[in-house]
Chain A
Amino acid sequence: MRQLLRAVIFGILGYLIGATLTWLVRGGSLGDEVCVVFGYVVGLVGWLFGIGMGDTWVREWFGLPARESDVTGWKRYLGFSTDHKVIGVQYLATFIVVLLLGGVAAMIIRFELAQAGEGILNADRYNQVMSMHGILMVAVAVAAILGSFGNYLVPIMIGADDMAFPRLNAVTFWLIPPVAIGLLAAPTLGSFDAGWTAYPPLSVVNNGGQILFVLAVTTFGLSSILGGLNVITTIVTMRAPGMTWGRLPIFVWAAFAASMISLLTTQFFAASLVLIAMDRVAGTVFFDGGAGGDPLLYQHLFWFYSHPAVYVMVLPGFGLVLETITHMSRKPLFAYKAVVVSLLTIAGLSVIVWAHHMFTSGMAEYLHGPFMFATEMISVPTGVIFLSAMATLWRGKLWMKTPLFFAMIWIFQFLMGGVTGIFLADVVTDVSLHDSYFVVAHFHYTIMGGMIFAFLTGIFFWFPKITGRMINDRLGIIFALWLTIGFQLTFLPQFWLGTNGMNRRIADYPDQLEGANLFSSISAFFLGGSFLLLIYILLSAARRGPKAGDNPWNASTLEWQVSSPPPEHNFSGQPTVVGHPYGYGTADSRHAEFAGMTAVGLAEPEQAGTGEGGDNE
């Protein structure tokens, strides 16, 4: 609490100092964008210093001993904690709140679109709400799974006691609040209204809120890069003895592939936003067509990150879903090696497909074919993921609890997103469908279907581990069905709207499209209502759910072999990994043994190195 208060004060002071100094040096007014930029940067430094960097790193830089936080109990969650489990929960709570905020924006959007003509919002307000919805949800999609489950599960799953860089991890999380504040403060300068993609020249000439968008999202990118760096280093250097690459739980592989993308390509997004900031405040002309600049430069830089970002969103989702499926159907993960190869192939291919977002941008036509080809190729490794999920279910012993429900619905949702993606990857159909509501429906199926549904799968599956309490399963299944039905009813009509002439990002549309829009809006409110049930389920389970025990699903991976919630350094002894993580159906299979600790539910050790055994028939 003390840290948080100090951080807020230092942040505000920093902002004022930065803005005032700039104002003193160059004149003009305090609200000028240059003052905002310097104010934000100094404020960010002040915030980080106040929250805990001042007590730790900065003191060590001057040769003083670090002052570690001695806060215990729930207050740890409000301060600079270096415990990866605390940080995971911080991410989880933060992004559930951001998800709900974005959801409120979505409800406003659908309310406006329920009828043609101007409703509660004028066109300006609509663009602002739509942009806010977009960027909040993209932030959720990029960081929610990797931040929460990546932090919480990866170290335990590989038998480590924390992340490789615990302090950096804390900084990574504490970079997020300034992002939220920056975005939500944008209306004070006139909101940003260029969508989450922020294409220039619009984003160079629009209201001052865009500069806060640029600053906040760049900060978010920094957090994403540092998070990816930490996850990769942790996985490479901190695996427990015996935890070979072939024995990593699949979620760890997924987090590894996603972190790789996020570490490297996020820089391009940062670069594109910095160029916009420069065009706005420093008078450069990168995107000014009249002065020799090129708006397409931004689109290339932007999509070089933002297409791979889709895989930063969904690859960890693949991991969570496949974990849940293999544990809950009590069968080894089908074709483990092929899935790993697929995850890495997707990560590799993701950086050579970006221009499929630009088939109608006026980019050179000889580029269309190669990018279409590369994009279609991604369906092959993605297909292997689907194969693995379905073949693991096939003839398993399906324990139809809420997590497995969500995982199976995920397969359906993401397939829908994937198949409609083919229409957009194909140049011919994309020329018609690009920037229409078909695209809107498509990416809601991929991102909400592929990422949020996986996120919910993860929440329902690991909730007992994180809180030590069980979720009401009946309510969980009702929620799953409610959400899924609402989702189909909301977004299926939008495919039709797209093919029938409704474009994206509009507050008003031709009267002839009113029926389908009204239907979609009513369904959207139905869909939105389901999240109230989710909040109730989570809060009631956290407060008075039945005790979960260490391993309520009787699952095999390491996080289920420790108490719920896990103890401070995760393991009371050093775990040694001796076999495949998903040895279901093999009587003497075991994943790990513990020094100084009797492990739960593990039988005789098997011969080393036969984790990959057991072929079909």
Chain B
Amino acid sequence: MAMTTTPEAVHSRAEATYRPAANRLGLWLFLASETFLFSAFISSRFVVSGTDQPEHLNQGLALLLTLLLLWSSISAFRAEAAMAHDNRRLFHREMLTTIVLGALFLVGVGVEFNEALTDFPANTIYGSSFFMLIGLHAFHVLTGILALGVVWNLGRLGHYGSDNHWPVEGVVKYWHFVDLMWVAIYPTLYLFGGS
């Protein structure tokens, strides 16, 4: 303990030791908190309308959207792994794939909303839950796409490397989370109950 220290030196040394753990824990806590938000809305759907479903549900489109998101999770995972191995080209490609898939998902949601407006508008009880849940999730997808875009751009500019890619890891974890929430919302709206 005889070393001479300045507060700044102590500060930066401490920073280096706790930063990775703090980032990870912070993200997990945020996701835990978000889980509560989604569970509030999902439970609301069951409280107000049980498992009732309207007649016209576009099951095909919903399944397609689910597959799009699942695929994008795989590509996001591959992008993260690529950066961990300093494979910039693969990172670049997989990141773009993820963003495009996410954008396609949003387009699909737009089509879905358009149909829903005539089949079960927001002033029906199923419509209320439908627009609320899908809207909330689409908002998360949108923020996810923006975050992916930022990270993709920074990765392209060479800000990350195999030993320094926390933002990639963080944003990909968030993307998996958004995907996971869809896996809960999809059966809530489309599969349970039924006509």
Residues on A lying within 8 angstroms of B by beta carbon are: 61-63, 160-161, 164-165, 168, 225, 229-230, 232-234, 236-238, 263-268, 270-272, 274-275, 278, 282-286, 291-294, 297, 300-301, 304, 567-569, 571-574, 595-596
Partner of B5, one of A267, A272, A293, A596: A596
Which B positions have Cβ atoms within 8 angstroms of A? 1, 3-5, 7-8, 10-11, 13-14, 18, 21-22, 25-26, 29-30, 32-34, 36-37, 40-41, 44, 47-49, 121-125, 127-128, 131-132, 150, 153-154, 157, 159
The closest CB in chain A to the CB of B4 belongs to: A596
Given contacts A270-B37, A284-B122, 13 further A-B contacts (CB under 8 A): A160-B14, A229-B33, A237-B25, A265-B36, A266-B33, A272-B40, A284-B123, A291-B123, A291-B125, A292-B125, A297-B47, A301-B44, A596-B1
The complex places the Cα of A94 from the Cα of B129 at a distance, in Å, of 38
Which of A229, A297, A301 touches B26 (beta carbons < 8 Å)?
A: A229
Judge whether A237 and B125 touch: CB under 8 Å: no
- A-B pairs with beta carbons under 8 Å apart, 9 shown: A63-B157, A229-B26, A237-B22, A238-B18, A266-B33, A274-B132, A284-B132, A294-B48, A297-B48
Residues of A within 8 A of B34 (CB): 267
Closest to B151 in A: A61
Docked Cα-Cα span, A264 to B29, in Å, equals 9
CB distance A284 to B150 under 8 Å? Answer: no
Contact across chains for A569 and B44 when beta carbons are under 8 A apart: no
CB-CB nearest in chain B for A60:
B154
Q: Given A233-B25, A282-B131, A271 and B40 touching (CB < 8 A)?
A: yes
- Residue of A at shortest CB range from B125? A292
Interface residue SS majority, chain B: helix
B14→A574 contact, CB < 8 A: yes
Known: A263-B32, A571-B10. A236 touches B40 (CB 8 A): no
Give Cα distance in the complex from A479 to B36, angstroms. 43
Q: Are A271 and B29 in contact (CB under 8 A)?
A: no
Tell me how far the C-beta of B125 lies from the nearest C-beta in chain A, rounded to whole angstroms. Answer: 4
Question: Which of B40, B132, B150 has most chain A Cβ within 10 Å?
Answer: B40
From B1, B40, B124, contact of A291 by CB (8 A):
B124
Q: How far is the CA of A140 from the CA of B30 in the complex (A)?
A: 24
List residues of chain B with CB within 8 A of the CB of A285. Answer: 122-125, 128
Q: Which residues of chain B come closer than 8 Å to A284, judged between CB atoms?
A: 122-123, 127-128, 131-132
**How many Cβ-Cβ contacts under 8 Å join chain A to chain B?**
135
Check B48–A286 contact: CB distance below 8 A: yes
Contact A292 B7 (CB under 8 A): no
Give complex CA distance A551, B114 in Å. Answer: 67
Interface centre among A278, A297, A568, A574 (most CB of B within 10 A): A574
- B32 contacts A264, C-beta separation under 8 Å: yes
Q: How many Å lie between the Cα of A264 and that of B30 in the bound state?
A: 9
7 closest Cβ pairs, A-B complex: A271-B40, A284-B128, A267-B37, A292-B125, A267-B36, A569-B7, A164-B22
Chain A residue contacts of B26, Cβ below 8 A: 164-165, 168, 229-230, 233
- Cβ of B132 and Cβ of A278 under 8 Å apart? yes
Question: How far in angstroms is the closest Cβ of chain A from B4?
Answer: 7
A238 near B22 (CB under 8 angstroms)? Answer: yes
Whether A271 and B41, one on each chain, are in contact in the complex, defined by CB atoms closer than 8 angstroms, is yes
A17 to chain B, nearest CB (A): 19
Bound: A238/B14 CA distance, A:
8
B159 touches A301 (CB 8 A): no
Asked if residues B32 and A292 are in contact (CB atoms below 8 Å), the reply is no
Give bound CA distance, A294 to B43, whole Å.
13
Cα distance A265–B4 in the bound complex, in angstroms: 46
